Structure 1
Amino acid sequence: MKNIILDRIADTKEKVRFSGNILVKKYNDVLLELSYGYANRSEQIENSTDTRFGIASGCKLFTSIAICQLVEAGKLTFETKLEDCLDVHFPNFDKEITVHHLLTHTSGIPDYFDEEVMDDFEELWVKNPMYLIRNLIDFLPLFQNQPMKLKLGERFHYNNAGYILLGLIVEQASQLNFSKYIEENIFKKAGMTNSGYFEFDSFPRHTALGYIDLPNGKWKTNIYSLPVKGGSDGGAYVTVNDMAILWDSLINNQLLNEEQTKKLLTPYVRTNDKNGYYGYGLWIEKNDSEIFKYHIMGYDPGVSFHSTFYPETSIKTVICSNKSQGAFDIMREIEEEVSN
């Protein structure tokens, strides 16, 4: 299989000038592990198996696991209303919004970055300097007083602000800083020893800088394109091996009990894709009545990420890139092979 996948991705890798790491595992067996490009272009430091990459919205799964852990611990329920579990006033929000609505992107609240009307994430930071965004509460002025975008439960509408609120709920229920909670209760518990929420101005070793390629052939890093520190809607850093460990820990009920794991993996709402659904913090694709795959993805300036678990074969794929594009193209080629 390794040689076939290598042949499949060869042309795509060159076409998109892929920079990043690729991992394909079946159970504990490594089927493919590759590194391309530079973690630091200026110093020509190459990406390697221990390079940490930003995964943007891929870490909404971490937030959902945290919420499920708190439900398991009796701190809240999925039907708990937003106004009952978060001491923040939202003057225009529907009073019936629940934790479940936030997890499934069906709350109808406004988003601070609405992908239906905005396509350049950098626009956000013209009036709101990214270097001031270091805590979840710093996001609230971007959407707190806006009117509802949709009626509650009207439809699936991918929403970053909803996951900011979930992170704040985690903080209030646990009395821990959000990133501290994730690091202690998910990363450490799973054995993800190289993952974390890092600030742009204090990266640890082996962390890839994100790169934005410009039309004139030049490039820039993404340090002025994103909040200085990620949070509950996106921005953690992982290695490909740590992400594979996360899938194993989740599927084997090591992070949640069996009941909560099943709830997280339940397809609750149809997305815009033909066979697409959303669970709690992850995308689900069905073939007829069977689950074909669970997957997470993330895109930011200088970041592209895809990771998938195929339950029928127990194959896990992780593609981390420190460029704005590339991960989806590589994932598509790999999936053509592993799904046959």
Structure 2
Amino acid sequence: MYTKENLNITMDRTAMDIDFAGVVNASDAAGLIHESAYGFSNRSDGIKNTTDTRFGIASGCKLFTAIGICMLVEQGKLTFETRLKDCLTASFPFFHESITVHHLLTHSSGIPDYFDEAVMDDFSELWDDRPMYKMTSLQDFLPMFQDRQMMFKPGERFHYNNAGYIILGLIIEQQSGLAFTDFIEKHVFQKAGMSESGYFSLDQLPGKTAIGYIDDEEVAEWKTNIYSIPIKGGADGGAFVTAGDMIKCWNALVTYQLLSEETTNVLLTPHMQEDKDEFYGYGIWIKKHADEIVKYHVMGYDPGVSFHAAYYPNSGVRLAVTSNKSIGAYSMMEAFEGSV
């Protein structure tokens, strides 16, 4: 049986061992279990991370996009089986006509990706030939994949796909009449009480927002990530949240404040199998053990960003680990899981 004192010691020791920079927040239905902050949000000025610091979460916000799509389904504007060609007017000359919203949500559409994580290692390489400071809207990503050939037939298999979530964001824009970021901030963040979170532009970051850092340990040098990621996040990643706000998101999701119980259960269903015990729902990873779901989780990695957040249904524990370094969040999550 863990104690809060032992948990605090474990998290502090792990943070020291890996030189972690970020925030850990763990709560359950009764309240806070653990909260801690480490490292600097601004190294040049010596400003430390605090528990209310905002962090980029990269692909961790695919969950927000999925929730947005589910809201439109509840409004009757589309269904999960609505075909792409019937809910978005953008041109995709080589895409299969049978692609559905469900395929896009579950990374099983087979469309080409603009950043294929199975074959590419460095996200920042995308901006060698195109200005990252001009990537300000979802439309800006279309030329990177819309005229390319399919990778496989829709529904054939799971293949993690960022472009699929760009398309989901465009569907949200067309069906709601709002810019994607405005829709999520209004209908997801505000509804969940995530008052400190948003899709901020890198050249206009608000106060208490961590700068992302890329470390080169071989030469003991670092640089910020401002030229390594799009200037503003969108449907496939790039929102900024506090760890506390991510806990609020878990709370709102699992208590049906964002979606109905029926729709929430669809979102949390293991639709596609990625590995032996790892499955994917709508915008969320699902871990099973002996056919029992033991963890729902989201994650995000960009240059200067690492993020993990989880909900453990057996205990009701909600966890959020935010970091402004490229690695570290996973180790902190592992340390937490090994202590409770």
TM-score interval, smaller chain: over 0.9
Gaps of 5+ in 1: none
> Given the alignment, which residue of 41, 45, 49 partners 2:47?
45
Q: Give the Å deviation of 1:337.
A: 2.2
- Secondary structure class of the residue paired with 1:21: strand
**The 10-residue stretch of structure 1 (71-80 or 23-32) with the greater mean CA deviation from structure 2:** 23-32
Deviations 1:113-135 (A, max 9, x none): 00111001111001111000000
Q: CA RMSD in A?
A: 0.9
Match of 2:215 among 199, 213, 219: 213
Q: Which residue number corresponds to residue 31 of structure 2? A: 29
Mapped to 2, the partners of 1:235 and 1:111 lie a distance apart of: 17
User: Is 1:177 the equivalent of 2:173?
Assistant: no
Q: How many correspondences in the alignment?
A: 337
- Following TM superposition, by how much is the alpha carbon of 1:98 offset from its aligned partner in structure 2, in angstroms? 0.1
Alpha-carbon offset, residue 291 of structure 1: 1.2
- Partner residue, 2:138: 136
1:262 is the counterpart of 2:265: yes
Aligned to 2:225: 222
User: Is the 8 Å Cα contact of residues 40 and 208 (structure 1) preserved in structure 2?
Assistant: yes
Alignment check: 8 A CA contact 1:16 1:325 kept: no
Residue of structure 2 aligned with 1:94, choices 69, 92, 96: 96
Aligned to 1:127: 129
Distance 1:58 1:109 in 2: 21
Cα deviation digits, residues 33-92 of structure 1 (max 9, x gap): 000011100011110111000000000000000000000000000000001101111011
Letter in 1 for 2:16: E
The alpha carbon displacement at 1:7 in A equals 3.3
Q: Which residue of 1 aligns with 2:240?
A: 237
3-state SS of the aligned residue for 2:163? helix
Q: What is the rounded CA distance, in whole Å, between the counterparts of 1:143 and 1:136 in structure 2?
A: 12
1:9 matched to 2:11? yes
> What TM-score comes out, normalization by structure 2 length?
0.97
For residues 7 and 98 of structure 2, the distance between their equivalents in structure 1, rounded to whole angstroms, comes to 48
User: Secondary structure in 2 aligned to 1:296?
Assistant: strand
Q: Is the deviation greater in 215-224 or in 23-32?
A: 23-32
Give the aligned partner of residue 68 of structure 2: 66
CA distance in 2, matches of 1:152, 1:257: 28
Inter-partner Cα distance in structure 1 for 2:20 and 2:4: 18
Q: 2:327 aligns with which of 325, 328, 334?
A: 325
| 1:146 alignment partner, one of 148, 170, 182 | 148
Whether 1:112 and 2:114 are equivalent positions in the alignment is: yes
Counterpart in the other structure of 2:297? 295
The 3-state SS of whatever aligns with 1:337 is coil
- Once the 2 structures are TM-superposed, how far is the Cα of residue 26 of structure 1 from its aligned partner? 1.4
Cα separation, 2, equivalents of 1:52 and 1:9: 20
1:97 CA drift (Å): 0.2
- Residue identity matched to 2:239: A
- Alignment correspondent of 1:283: 285
- Give the conservation status (yes or no) of the 8 Å contact 1:122–1:226: yes
CA-CA distance at 1:286 after TM superposition: 1.1
**Counterpart residue type for residue 282 of structure 2:** Y
Note the residue ranges of structure 2 that are not aligned, 5 or more in a row.
Answer: none
- The code of the aligned residue for 1:218 comes to E
In 1: Cα distance, 2:258 partner to 2:212 partner: 30
Query: How far apart are the structure 1 equivalents of 2:334 and 2:162?
Result: 25
How big is the shift at 1:222?
0.2
1:176 partner SS:
coil
Q: Measure the CA separation in 1 of the matches of 2:193 and 2:118.
A: 37
Q: Distance in 2 between matches of 1:15 and 1:140?
A: 42
